[in-house]
Amino acid sequence: MAKQGMAIICSACGADTFVRREPIYEGFRKTGESISCVSCGHTFADEADVPFKDNAGPKIFTDADRSKAVDIFESDEKGRNCRHCRHYTVNPFVQRCGLHQTEVQATDLCGDFDPKGEDDGDDDPLAKLLKKGE
Ligand SMILES: [Zn+2]
């Protein structure tokens, strides 16, 4: 299983469960990570406060694994921008999310992100628009 190091015994609800990690944003800048219990939703203030099950046993999560995990996370995050989403539409006046019927920015992140089909992989509507405006 890929989610090594995610297993916890929650200190809030006592469940043998997992943590959910979500990036925290201030504007478009990632300022941190929220770590919460998937069972009760309790948010842990700090990584050091998370009651990982792994802490009790031999350390299987090395520093090398950790940086690899971060890389994967960041590239995934980059791919989740609205501009790469199938619901994203753009015209000269507004960028919209077709799913939520709201105005969005190309760099927005969305929980309902749905990647565009491979066919339009190189078809970046925003880039096209910017080119047109030159
Ligand atoms: Zn809990």
Query: Are residues 92 and 67 both part of a single domain?
Result: no
How confident is the model at residue 77, as a pLDDT? 54
How confident is the model at residue 90, as a pLDDT? 85
Closest CA to 21 of 83, 85, 74: 74
Instruction: Please give the distance, rounded to the nearest whole angstrom, from the Cα atom of residue 44 to the centre of ligand 1.
Output: 10
Instruction: Please give the distance, rounded to the nearest whole angstrom, from the Cα atom of residue 9 to the centre of ligand 1.
Output: 8
Query: Are residues 68 and 15 both part of a single domain?
Result: yes
Residue 12 above 90 pLDDT? yes
Instruction: Please give the distance, rounded to the nearest whole angstrom, from the Cα atom of residue 70 to the centre of ligand 1.
Output: 24
Instruction: Please give the distance, rounded to the nearest whole angstrom, from the Cα atom of residue 93 to the centre of ligand 1.
Output: 45
Which ranges constitute the DSSP H helices of 14-107?
63-79
Reported as a pLDDT band with limits 50, 70 and 90, residue 2 is very low
Residue 133 above 90 pLDDT? no
Query: Are residues 68 and 19 both part of a single domain?
Result: yes
User: Is 40:10 a contact under the CB 8 Å cutoff?
Assistant: yes
Per the model's pLDDT, the better-predicted residue between 52 and 65 turns out to be 52
Query: Are residues 100 and 67 both part of a single domain?
Result: no
User: Which domain, by its residues, includes 18?
Assistant: 7-79
Taking the whole predicted model, whether its pTM rises above 0.95 is answered as no
What is the rounded distance in angstroms from the CA atom of residue 75 to the CA atom of residue 61?
20
What is the rounded distance in angstroms from the CA atom of residue 18 to the CA atom of residue 10?
8
Reported as a pLDDT band with limits 50, 70 and 90, residue 66 is low
What is the rounded distance in angstroms from the CA atom of residue 73 to the CA atom of residue 79?
10
Instruction: Please give the distance, rounded to the nearest whole angstrom, from the Cα atom of residue 15 to the centre of ligand 1.
Output: 6
Q: How many domains does the chain have?
A: 2
Residues whose CB falls within 8 Å of the CB of residue 45, separated by 6 or more in sequence, listed in order = none
Residue 67 above 90 pLDDT? no
Per the model's pLDDT, the better-predicted residue between 97 and 118 turns out to be 97
